[in-house]
Structure 1
């Protein structure tokens, strides 16, 4: 057996805040691409009615679930709440996907296919075949520079560690210390990709076409960028200092594993 069914039940976690203009279409595209996947909308008390729309979709479709939170607490905590919800209900695979339509649900079958021989699959904008559509030049330059800096600072062999479209086996999610993850914005993606690589996970990057949202406003802000820069720099410093400690247990070497490469790109 191959395909999503071979992996076990799949849950797509979709954090939302003021996404009433996008959520319905994203769920439609998701279920057209992978009809057996379930969705969990994690809504941070959106004032525009996104939570109510999600409730209506859940009432009409048993594949849609909703987790209401009482305040806007950030992307990282929303995903951690979704991971816990998935673990409690026996899902085998958890997927991260934005609600704004930037992540193409049509590429989810490719991510799930790659997961058959991996622990974590990243939808990547910056590997051969990947692309970014309709971003202004300064946003694209900031994203590329952030990924290059992350790769250097953390010695992380990933082209797109900041991307938020990814699929993971619950076995990996369950053994990573998400209770220790304090990152709020897209730095959360870097944080847990780095933890996965350090834990020796099999990580694959699959190309995607990332599109700028057409409805609503971006949640990107200077505070999110500042958080990412500060945390990645600090982690990199600690990582290099730890290499100098006598008697330190050597961490898994990114990019290598028994039988070959631990991180790779699928075209």
Structure 2
């Protein structure tokens, strides 16, 4: 895809997002008309992969990676990063395909990347950031989890778990992606913290996060538990083990 001249690859992992995917792709195309879009579908039983193929057939800047099953968010993004690197894109964008991330925020995130940020986080927990349609207890869990991660990892970032981000591939190349093993929240924390630790300039841009109006969240207790366990382990290793800040 890269030879067509785009500097940006938008990565959209999907699993059972048949209803929302066309709208998300249309919104991305409206905001970033020159970007390439990579849909990564984990063999969705609802036919999301077929919808993605139809979109790609009508837009030469869209491609689809079909995977054999539900292999997880982290491995999906790593597969997308590998395509971004092999295609010599300058920026790789992480974005949910369920409508939680507003494409209208993309120009501000890209602008921050053009201004020199190696990692741009679409942040909820900074001044100007908002969440719509989340119950108070879910917001509390997210805030508490983020606070634990910040303290444990000695991080300066306010929204380590944000899944809406722009990454300069020059910094992405400096990471050992094969060593990233976590999923969901844990993957987002591991990647952001890994970039922060190697000196990547990070900018947090306030966004509005909107809870999906249809379909089911892919987040599970197991994914949250994995993230918490990993964060506490990394914090221990940072203080008493082999990791160094």
TM norm. shorter chain > 0.5:
yes
2:88 to 72, 87, 90: 90
- Pairwise CA distance, 1:169: 0.7
Distance 2:191 2:88 in 1: 21
Task: Write out per-residue CA displacement over residues 49-72 of structure 1, whole angstroms, 9 at most, x where no aligned residue.
Answer: 000000000010011110111010
Contact 1:14 1:98 in 2 (8 A): yes
Matching of residues 173-184 of structure 1 within 5 Å: 173-184=172-183
Question: Number of matched residues?
Answer: 240
Q: Which residue of 1 aligns with 2:132?
A: 133
For residue 200 of structure 1, give the secondary structure of its aligned residue in structure 2: coil
- 1:122-144 Cα distance to aligned partner (Å, 9 max, x none): 00001000000000111111111
Equivalence for 1:37: 35
Which region of structure 1 is more displaced relative to structure 2, 230-239 or 136-145? 136-145
Q: Which has the larger radius of gyration?
A: 1
Tell whether the 8 Å contact from 2:6 to 2:35 is kept in structure 1 after alignment. no
Is residue 2:107 matched to residue 1:109?
A: yes
- The structure 2 residue matched to 1:48, chosen from 46, 49, 67, is 46
Q: Which runs of 5+ in 2 are unaligned?
A: none
What is the DSSP-based 3-state SS (H/G/I as helix, E as strand, rest coil) of the residue aligned with 2:29?
helix
Cα pair 1:42 1:78 within 8 Å, conserved: yes
Specify every segment of 5 or more residues in structure 1 that has no aligned partner in the other structure, as ranges: 1-6, 252-267
**8 Å Cα contact 1:31-1:37 kept in structure 2:** yes
TM-score (norm 1): 0.88
Q: CA deviation at 1:8?
A: 6.0
Partner of 1:198: 197
Report the TM-score, using the length of structure 2 for normalisation.
Answer: 0.95
Cα displacement string for residues 206-235 of structure 1 (whole angstroms, at most 9, x for unaligned residues): 000000001111111110110011000000
Secondary structure at the aligned position of 2:173 is classed as: helix
Name 1:263's counterpart in structure 2.
none
The runs of at least 4 consecutive aligned structure 1 residues that moved more than 3 Å come to none
- From 87, 98, 101, the equivalent of 1:100 is 98
